Amino acid sequence: MGYTNFPNGLTSLGIPLPGSMPAIAGKWFFVNPSKGSDGNKGTSLQHPVKTLSKAYSLCTSGAGDGICIVSTDTGASSSTTVYESAVIDWSKCGITVWGMAAPVAFGIRARVANASASTALAYIVDVQGHNNAFYNVQFANWGTGDTALSAVKVSGNRNYFGNCYLVCHGAVTKAIRDLWLTGSNNTFVDCAFGTNTTAVSGAAACNILINGDGENTCAEDYFLRCRTYMYSSANTLAPIRSAAATSAVGTIMFQDCIFSAVPGSTEPAAVVAGTEFTNTNGIIFLCGCHSMNISDISAWTARCFVSGYATAAGAGGIGTVTT
Residue 11 has pLDDT above 50, yes or no: no
What's the whole-number mean pLDDT along residues 21-34? 93
The dihedral through the CA atoms of 114, 115, 118, 119 has a sign that is: negative
d(CA 49, CA 30): 6
- What is the pLDDT of the chain when averaged over all its residues? 88
pLDDT at 3: 52
d(CA 135, CA 231): 26
Residue 1 has pLDDT above 70, yes or no: no
Residue 273 has pLDDT above 70, yes or no: yes
pLDDT at 153: 97
Strand order in the sheet with 296-298: 88-90, 125-127, 150-154, 177-181, 206-210, 238-242, 270-274, 296-298
d(CA 238, CA 247): 16
Which of residues 316 and 169 earns the better pLDDT score?
A: 169
Class of domain 1-86: alpha beta
d(CA 90, CA 93): 8
pLDDT one-digit tens code per residue, 51-91: 999 999 999 999 999 999 999 877 778 789 999 999 999 99
pLDDT at 308: 86
CATH number for the segment(s) 101-322:
2.160.20
Give every CB contact of residue 3 below 8 A, 6+ residues apart in sequence. 11, 12, 13, 27
pTM exceeds 0.85, yes or no: yes
Q: How deeply is 72 buried, as exposed, middle or buried, from its count of CB atoms within 10 A (0-12, 13-18, 19+)?
A: middle
pLDDT one-digit tens code per residue, 77-131: 878 999 999 999 999 999 999 999 989 988 899 999 998 888 889 999 999 999 9
Confidence grade of residue 16 (pLDDT, cut at 50, 70, 90): very low
pLDDT at 77: 81
Q: Is 189 helix (H, G, I), strand (E, B) or coil?
A: strand
Which DSSP letter does residue 20 get? T
Confidence grade of residue 216 (pLDDT, cut at 50, 70, 90): low
d(CA 1, CA 146): 44
User: What distance separates the 2 farthest-apart alpha carbons in the chain?
Assistant: 64
Asked if residues 270 and 241 have their Cβ atoms less than 8 Å apart, the reply is: no
Residue 4 has pLDDT above 60, yes or no: no
What's the whole-number mean pLDDT along residues 189-209? 94
pLDDT at 280: 87
Q: Is 171 helix (H, G, I), strand (E, B) or coil?
A: coil
Q: How deeply is 216 buried, as exposed, middle or buried, from its count of CB atoms within 10 A (0-12, 13-18, 19+)?
A: middle
Residue 215 has pLDDT above 90, yes or no: no
Confidence grade of residue 9 (pLDDT, cut at 50, 70, 90): very low
What's the whole-number mean pLDDT along residues 193-202? 91
Number of neighbours of residue 190 by Cβ within 10 angstroms: 17
The share of the chain scoring above pLDDT 90, in percent, equals: 71
Domain ranges of the chain: 1-86, 101-322
What's the whole-number mean pLDDT along residues 27-33? 96
